[in-house]
Amino acid sequence: MKPLDEATLIPSHMPTTNRPSNMGASVNDNASRLDAVPKVTGSAKYGKDYHLPNSLYIVFIRCPWGAADFVSADEAAAKATPGVVEMQVRGKSCTYHGQSIGYIAADSPRAAKRALRALAPKWKRTPVKTQISDTVKDNPDIGDDGQNNMNGAEVTHEAVYTTPVQTHSSLETHGGAVDHRGDRATVYASTQGTSSSRDGLGGPLGLGQGDFELVCEYVGGGFGSKLGGPGKELTTAAQLAAKYKRPAYMFCNRSEEHLDTGNRPSSRTLARIGFKKDGSPVGGEIRTWGGTGVAGGGGGASIPSGRYKLGEIKKLHDDVSFNGGGPRAFRAPGHPQAAFAEELMLDEVAAKLGMDPLALRMKLAGGEHRKMFEAGAKLIGWSNRKPNGSQNSALRTGYGAGAAGWGSAGPGGAAEVVIARDGSVESRTGTQDIGTGQRTGMGIVTADALGIPLKYVSVKIGRSTLPPGPGSGGSVTTPTTAPTMTAVAKAAKTQLLELLATQANAKPDEFSIKDGVVLRNGEKYLTWEEACGKLPNDGITANKGKGERGDGHSNGVQFVKLDVDTETGVIHLRHVVAIQSCGRVICRKTAESQIIGGVIQGLSFALFENKLLDRNTGAMVNDNFESYKILGPGDMPHIEPVLWSKGQSGFKALGEPPTIPTAGATACALFNAIGRPVRDLPLTPDKVLAALAAGQGGAA
């Protein structure tokens, strides 16, 4: 038997079911995260880990009901609690559970909590609304435009689709720690925007931007909820730290995270649409409502998505207020809830037309999506799909499909690359890494642009004193920073080669670098270390360069295979194929991880997540991870990410699109298995059993 070589034995090089088709699709197929060891060993310090000596600990005073007036409290008892430094009550009327009306600052977390109990606030509850249907009770008549759009339709479809409020549920909660030292300060933040958080803290800290540094080297997720400045948690900590000239710490607990840090808003979609018998779209009307809680907007749903030709559609939208926390940006805002409605609508239309739902999509979708659908159908085994509702066994199998699309950003921000005389390279960007692999990506593009192995490169990120970069939102981080870092690294390389040429009395174009070797006219000239040894003592620093913009959208498709137990209504996820174009992929592992993570979040949205408000009091009844269900290890299917590299160029978006089609594809797979659509997320067993009962002549 031939012995295996050492490279074959390296786990990251060994093929798995997730990887063979992706080999060769990225700049670096086998690199592991540069921060893997610190994260695994626990040496990586997140903002929440900074319990600084002599810190003030802050807790908010929050409303326990959906709507209530603050009546009274024992402020004297709270202030008398040992360790309390300051207490402030600022509000009177509250309109959602978790709304803050003040704070308590104390010398320890225990003292702050004891003071909160001693305060014993009294409230008078007021009437509440808790969902869209409290306001939108009936379906409005179709408008003239919508009716005209449906003229000539041979098959029509009308249905209402709803999705619930989904909370962000980041691993690290919202907040920050502030080390105020009088004339200087360091802020340890959990943020998706190093620069935007810094910009909002000068006033609260009482310092100029040059007198404090914001640090977020490691961030425990955000999904959009930590965009847009420092937030009230960090702002309050900064104000109190400045006032008392001592460190201050304020992070939400898990309950507060569910209540008051934003969410994906609920939605209601009324679709009225017409088709010809051959599947050609005629048009219609789509009305959407977004459940925005106490916010004035932010509930829009992106339907029609533009991924399918649906004819002339009249689109109408209204945001609906009720007594709940307002939305914040949430991974692909407005898209997953819209895709759920659009994909299930298409499957229902296909059933009425007597068409295979994939064939209908192929007729309505664009060229790249059609090619992806063809490839995904083979990987999922679509040929094994049985007609809707044709199975009679207790355990039934279903297949569903859906599509995604996302725009891309151009190069921007700033970067710096430093080459030292010992051959070490440092790439620098203030851009934060919320867990997606920004540190690793910047190292890879730097090494690739210089023509050297990654082992020579270290990366500094997540500090406001480094070159500024974008916030981690809208899938713009890599498309913005990677071209810039690439251009700056190439500028540093040019400086090095020009210096070598000058020293050798030669022309710069005689020199190149490949795999860590400096070549002259294609022949080995110097090792990387030898070349760097010829640099001046302070090495080379480059911080200017013009990056190239990627072309086109980040399109994708997903297929879901599941089993349904028709006796219990429980859905068992089996296999998800997620094909995603994302331009020039930097790192295979982190790209696969992004896709897998997006699918997990989409499956969790499909089957479990639902912020439940008591209809009488407006209080959230599941503000914990025991009752607010998310997808767990036992629920996880085999997820197969496919990096679509055909015709791809430039750095494109990857964060958002993989979570868009998942819930819709899951609902379509359920429809296929049981022959009845479930039009309301999450797809819980009670809804499955109700749909089965309705199909057998019972009441839905």
DSSP string over 532-584: HTTS-TT-EEE----PPPP-S---EEEEEEEEEETTT--EEEEEEEEEEE-BS
pLDDT at 15 over 90: no
Domain with CATH 3.30.365.10 in the chain: 263-407+552-695, 416-542
pLDDT at 314 over 90: yes
Q: What does residue 587 show for φ and ψ, rounded to 5 degrees?
A: -130, 120
Query: What is the CATH code of the structural domain delimited by 263-407+552-695?
Result: 3.30.365.10
pLDDT at 6 over 80: no
Please report the beta strands in 227-280, taking only residues with DSSP state E, as ranges in sequence order.
Answer: 248-251, 263-264, 266-275
Taking the C-alpha atoms of residue 392 and residue 385, their distance in angstroms, rounded to an integer, is 14
Taking the C-alpha atoms of residue 630 and residue 340, their distance in angstroms, rounded to an integer, is 18
**Over residues 604-633, mean pLDDT:** 97
pLDDT at 9 over 50: no
CA dihedral 518, 521, 522, 528 (to 10 degrees): 0
Looking at 3.30.365.10, 3.30.70.20, 3.40.50.620, 3.90.1170.30, the CATH number of the domain 416-542 comes to 3.30.365.10
Burial grade of 86 (CB within 10 A; 0-12, 13-18, 19 or more): middle
Nearest to 659 by CA among 470, 475, 385, 409: 475
Separation in Å, CA 25 to CA 102, 121, 436, 486, 648: 53, 59, 18, 18, 10
**Over residues 450-466, mean pLDDT:** 97
Sign, CA dihedral 86-90-92-93, equals: negative
pLDDT at 257 over 70: yes
Give Cα 313 to chain centroid, integer Å. 29
Nearest to 577 by CA among 385, 400, 427: 400
pLDDT at 700 over 60: no
CB 671 within 8 A of CB 678: yes
pLDDT tens digits for range 48-84:
999 999 999 999 999 999 999 999 999 999 999 999 9
Q: Which residues of 438-449 are buried (b: 16+ CB within 10 A; e: fewer)?
A: bbbbbbbbbbbb
pLDDT at 420: 98
pLDDT at 391 over 60: yes
pLDDT at 554: 93
Angle between helices 336-353 and 588-607 (to 10 degrees): 70
What is the rounded average pLDDT for all residues in the chain? 94
Nearest to 14 by CA among 30, 26, 34, 28: 30
**Over residues 164-191, mean pLDDT:** 97
pLDDT tens digits for range 130-145:
999 999 999 999 999 9
Element (H, E) at 215: strand 212-215
Separation in Å, CA 245 to CA 82, 238, 239: 20, 10, 10
Q: What percent of the chain clears pLDDT 70, i.e. is strictly above it?
A: 97
Confidence of residue 25 (pLDDT cuts 50, 70, 90): confident
Here the tokens at position 629 are 């269900």
Nearest to 648 by CA among 594, 586, 592: 586
Here the tokens at position 623 are 């503000």
pLDDT tens digits for range 181-231:
999 999 999 999 999 999 999 999 999 999 999 999 999 999 999 999 999
Confidence of residue 699 (pLDDT cuts 50, 70, 90): low
**Over residues 630-650, mean pLDDT:** 92
Taking the C-alpha atoms of residue 303 and residue 307, their distance in angstroms, rounded to an integer, is 10
